[in-house]
Amino acid sequence: MSLGETATGETLGVPPAIELRHVWKVFGPGNGSTAISLSQNGENRAEILKQTQQTVAVRDVSFSVAQGETFVVMGLSGSGKSTLIRCLSRLVEPTAGEVLLGGDNLLTMTDEQLIDVRRGRMSMVFQHFGLFPHRKVIDNIAYGLEVQKIDKATRIARATEVLNTVGLDGWANHYPQQLSGGMQQRVGLARALAVDPQILLFDEPFSALDPLIRKEMQDELIRLQKTMQRTVVFITHDFAEALRLGDRIAIMKDGSFDQVGTPEEIVSNPATAYVREFVNDVPRAKVLSVKTVTVDGQPVAGGRVVTSTAKIETIIPMLLERDEHITVVDASNVVIGIVSRQSVASILQAEQQ
Amino acid sequence: MSTALAQQANSSRLLLSNPLVRTAAFVTIVLITAQTFGTGGFPESWNIGIAEPITGVQSWVRENRSSNWSFRFFFNPLISAVEFGLNSVESFLVWLPWFIPPIIVFLIIGRSRRWGLATFTAFVVVYPGIVGLWPESIVTISLMAVSVAISILIGVPLGVLTALNKRFESILRPILDGMQTVPATVYLIPIVLVFGIGPAPAAIATVIYAIPPMIRLTCLGIQQVPKSAVEAAHMFGATKRQFLAKVQLPLAVPSIIAGINQTVMMALGIVVIATLVGAGGLGQEINQTVRRLEAGRGLVVSLAVVAVALVLDRVSRSLVVEPGEQRFHISRKLMYTTISGLVFATILGRAMGWIEFPFSWGTSFADPIDSGFTWFRTTFDVVTRPFNDFVVRELIVRAQTLLNQTLAWQAIVVAASTFSYVVAGWKMSLTTAIGITFIGLTGRWPDAVDTLTQTVIAVVFSMLIAIPIGIWLGRRPRAESFISPFLDALQTIPNLVYAIPFVMIFSVGPVPGIVAAVVYALPPGIRLTALGIRQVNYESLEAATTFGATPRQVLRGVRVPLAMPSIILAINQMVMMVLAMAIIAGMVGGGGLGYRSIEALTKPDAGLGAEVGIAIVIMATILDRLLQATAKRLQAPAAN
């Protein structure tokens, strides 16, 4: 268990955009305190279910997400990830723990305050899109603005703008069910963006889509996120998707986090056997940076140079072209070592085992 | 595997699982109790007299109707209000030139560009006029309009409340369930007591009878809003009121319209029975044709009821816009033009005196139908008379003698509860025993035996016809889609109408009621059987075929066994339909509880009504539960 505080991106003095402290969610009859204490004593879920008829869906989860960071929670079905994202939007009331948004405690808010937070500060994209079948695309997108009683002209103008951002110009007057799955999820995304939220929550948004469309949507999200810089919490069951999108990734299993870290940290140093199983299938050269294969050595004078943050896959063609060490420099152009065919081969060899 | 192990663990169970042993044990138990208790029906002296207090309430109501505050300030004003509504609608429809309603219907349906349907429906509107039933139709339509309007006004808010409030739901749901098994004649009695007789009490009775689907479907519509849409609405900060107004209600609209649809159909369904409370209109006409045994005219009049049903159905359906449906855009200008056109046409019609339907062929084309039936009767007398005699003498009389005289009532109770035990366990067995005994205690034992006998006979006949047809149809989708509309149409015909031709063929007595019940029960029976056969898992069929099973083997070894739960459900539905027909059977000489309920309503005798109601509800509930349990038993191994 390494809940290492690596790269939290926390800036001094500024509270994280989202912070969860020891959040629990227990489903079933009663208040859940028995189930929590059983779980704390190390009982497994099946045993707790037998004794209390309660299911521990989220088990003592703590993490924080910095302003503008993309935090991905990856887990298989039943791991509690969907419940977790509902706890942090209070669609599901956590059994215990604290949820802080920019320092404000979400769980002690009144209904009115909660409605305010949802109207302005956070927004969500759903797995099965959650579109309203009785409203046209444009009215779906404008929904968040409509409940805020923003006048029609303004909200339609804003909705049209977002519609164009997600590449759906010309579809405004269709009904959702007339659109393909990928287009429907663009509408879902547009609806979330229309209210201009600081926090965007994604609940497995692309898992209902075909692989090609999924890739396209991921690219779209990466493109948008480059310009928007929102705080994103993204739920997925797809490890490759997590690696592509996440600044940091949490691997969730049986209601708690097995490991939290950057894609590179997780791939190069999986904390548990469970995490390793996912990592084994990952082509490391695509994830790991040159830094991880850098060794000490004498730079070749006048030779080729790469920055330490480049992915390994980018230097493989260079090494194949000419068997000569490549000099590695850091962000400020200081030489930190070299890479060779051997050092790269060793990491690729590890992948085979 | 696991069932085999369980059986080994319990050897007595193993013995009981053999159907032969089970039957033998069953028969032995019944014979022993029969020996012990001798013979005879339920002792009359055991009547616990639930009728008396109810009759007491009845006399109190009679005496205090004009003086008590609840009548002066609530019931009587309510009646006046409903009466006012009925009169207004009726006099408006009478005032309106006859050609306006078909035009309006044409315009409403034409909006969705279905011209054929629009033209057809407009002609259907005119049908009652052609056969000279225009005034009667207006009376019935006014009754429909007012009762459906009241049902919507009360039903939609109740449905919303039911969907949103768990506690309210837990109170209302059992009431709605109960209302569906109590025969309409029974709960018409308190209405007659409180409100008297006339069109307005008939409207209130219709509302009470027809409102459950309105409440249920509104509630369903709101509860069925997809969970993701619910979460999305909350996530964007909708308040409760915004959520209801902008998401829940709009998404529930198709379901609410379906509810209105159902309510209209239910309301039309008791149009005949409502005449017993003084409704008039088409129902009264049907009632008279049955009394005079005029099958042809009966058919003509009931087609008018079907016409009203069809028009109301089509119009209410075309009020829902399906997302993406191509419709005429109606600009304000077009709207005003259309309305002023209609107003002009109305004024013109009034001025020219084109008000009443201009011509009538009367019911003259009913005569050939009548003579056809007469011909049929005389020609096939060789068949119908022996059939009639066979059913009456060999089936009904024998069964009644067996149940009322040969067997002691204790034997019947023991037999029924033993059967319940085998099918559904000891709890159900206890319920059955208490329920049956209670029927005896209310003093309705002979009537219940009478009704039960006829019900069983009708159900057996329905099964023999519906299940083979259903099995045949289930494998022929094209034939089924061809037959479906006919089955639909059969279900909109008021159930009294079913009895008319058979009364003509078999003359008054229990047989026309039984045959009518069979015909009435066939559509759902055929439907559900065919559905079960059709929905059998495709892979199981392919597997069977791959292993070289002949089509016959596939049918017998795979399709039918897998469709069994659905077939049991079909039987269940048929039992309910047959029981619903019991009252009509009573009207055409079937006797039993049906006859008693009509007797109770026409007197009116609330005490008798309560006894009959309790007996029918107990019978329906026990039969329903037993069949459901059987279906579940058959389904269990498939689910593993």
pLDDT at res. A13? 63
Burial zone of B272 (CB within 10 Å; 0-12 exposed, 13-18 middle, 19+ buried): buried
Find tokens 């600081």 and name the residue.
A198
Q: Which two tokens stand for residue B184?
A: 């309409």
User: What's the CA gap between B439 and B369, in Å, rounded?
Assistant: 43
Which residue carries 């279905």 as its tokens?
Answer: B114
Contact B231 A127 (CB under 8 A): no
The answer to whether residue B246 neighbours chain A at the CB level (below 8 Å) is yes
C-beta separation of B98 from B129 below 8 A: yes
Q: Copy the structure tokens of residue B238.
A: 């909708």
- Helix segments in B507-537, DSSP class H: 510-534
pLDDT digits (tens, 9 = 90+) for B211-234: 888 998 899 888 888 888 888 888
CA distance A323 to chain B (A): 56
pLDDT at B290: 74
In this structure, which amino acid lies at residue B574?
A: M
Q: How far is A240 from chain B (nearest CA, A)?
A: 25
B239 interfaces chain A, CB cutoff of 8 Å: yes
Helix (H) or strand (E) holding A251: strand A248-253
Nearest Cα of chain A lies from the Cα of B629 at a distance, in angstroms, of 27
Please compute the mean of the pLDDT values over residues B383-411 and round it to a whole number: 80
For chain B, give the mean pLDDT: 80
Q: Does B249 touch chain A (CB under 8 A)?
A: no
A-B interface: how many C-beta pairs under 8 angstroms? 75
Does the CB of B327 have a partner CB in chain A at under 8 Å?
A: no
Chain B residue closest in CA terms to A197: B236
Phi then psi for A24, rounded to 5 degrees?
Answer: -125, 145
Q: Is the Cβ pair B236, A144 closer than 8 Å?
A: yes
User: Which residues from chain A sit within 8 angstroms of residue B232, using beta carbons?
Assistant: 124, 126, 130-132, 143, 191
Query: Tell me, what's the pLDDT at B19?
Result: 62
Q: Which domains does chain B have, with CATH numbers?
A: 38-49+395-635 (1.10.3720.10), 131-323 (1.10.3720.10)
Residues of A with CB under 8 A from a CB of B: 86, 89, 91, 115-120, 122-124, 126-135, 143-144, 146-148, 174-175, 177-178, 191, 195
Do the beta carbons of residue B327 and residue B321 sit within 8 Å? yes
What pLDDT does A3 receive? 40
Tens of pLDDT, residue by residue over B545-596, are: 777 677 777 787 788 888 888 888 888 888 888 888 887 788 777 888 888 8
Nearest-CA residue of chain B relative to A91?
Answer: B231
What percent of chain A has pLDDT above 90?
Answer: 18
Mode of pairing for the β-strands spanning A199-203 and A231-236:
parallel
Query: Cβ separation of A130 and B232 shorter than 8 Å?
Result: yes
B233: closest CA of chain A, how far (Å)? 8
Q: How confident is the model at residue B11 (pLDDT cuts 50, 70, 90)?
A: very low
The minimal CB distance from A134 to the residues B228, B236, B251 is found for B251
Name the nearest CA neighbour of A120 among A85, A144, A151, A86: A144
Residue with tokens 């049955």: B290
Q: What pLDDT score does A5 carry?
A: 41
Nearest chain B Cα distance for residue A290, angstroms: 42
Residue B222: both structure tokens together? 């709101």
- Chain A nearest-CA distance from B238, in A, is 6
The answer on pLDDT for B633 being more than 80 is no
Whether the per-residue pLDDT at B185 is higher than 80: the answer is: no
CA A291 – CA A344 distance, rounded (Å): 11
Query: What distance in Å separates residue A301's CA from the closest CA in chain B?
Result: 59
Residue A64 β-bridge partners: A19
For B38-133, where are the alpha helices, taking DSSP H only? 51-64, 69-70, 76-95, 100-110, 115-130
Model pLDDT, residue A160 = 92
Residues β-bridged to residue A339: A326
Which tokens belong to B219? 């509630």
Cβ of B237 within 8 Å of Cβ of A118? The answer is yes
- Contact list, A126 vs chain B (CB under 8 Å): 228, 231-232
CB contact under 8 A, B246 and A146: yes
Residue B234 with chain A: CB contacts under 8 Å: 91, 118
User: Tens digit of pLDDT for each residue in B164-178?
Assistant: 888 988 888 888 877
Structure confidence by residue, pLDDT tens digits, B412-459: 888 888 888 887 788 888 888 888 888 888 888 888 888 888 888 999
Residue of A nearest to B228 (CA): A130
Kindly list the residues from chain A whose CB atom is less than 8 angstroms away from the CB atom of residue B233: 132, 143
Tokens of B172: 């209302």
Q: Do B229 and A131 touch (CB under 8 A)?
A: yes
- The percent of chain B in helix, strand and coil, each rounded to the nearest 5, is 85, 0, 15
Q: Which residues in chain A are contacts of B237 at CB distance < 8 A?
A: 115-120, 144, 147-148
What is the Cα–Cα distance from B356 to B132, expressed in whole angstroms? 10
**Whole-number CA gyration radius for chain B:** 27
Residue segments in chain A with a per-residue pLDDT below the cut of 50? 1-10
Please, are residues A84 and A256 in contact by the beta-carbon 8 Å criterion?
no
Residues from chain A contacting residue B228 (CB–CB below 8 Å): 126-130
Residue B468 has pLDDT above 90, yes or no: yes
Q: Which two tokens stand for residue B574?
A: 């048929």
| Residues B266-313 pLDDT 10s | 888 787 778 878 888 888 888 888 777 777 787 788 888 888 888 887
Per-residue pLDDT at B477 exceeds 50: yes
pLDDT (mean) for B114-128: 87
Which of B242, B253, B324 faces A147 most closely, judged by CB atoms?
A: B242
Q: Could you report the per-residue pLDDT of B132-174, keeping only the tens digit for each?
A: 888 888 999 899 889 999 999 999 999 999 988 889 888 888 8
- The tokens for B459 are 């159900």
The minimum CA-CA distance between B425 and chain A, rounded to whole Å, is: 27
Mutate which: B224, B228, B231, B235, vs A, most A CBs within 10 A: B235
pLDDT for position B320: 67
What 3-state class would DSSP assign to A54? coil
Contact B231 A91 (CB under 8 A): yes
- When the pLDDT of each residue in chain A is averaged and rounded to a whole number, the result is 85
Torsion angle, alpha carbons of A293, A295, A300, A304, to 10: 20
Q: Is the CB of B229 inside 8 Å of chain A's CB atoms?
A: yes
Please indicate if any CB of chain A lies within 8 Å of the CB of B368. no
ipTM of the complex: 0.72
**Residue B226's closest chain A neighbor by CA?**
A130
Give the pLDDT score at A301: 76
More confident residue, B341 or B19: B341
| Helix H or strand E encompassing B196 | none
pLDDT, position A220: 87
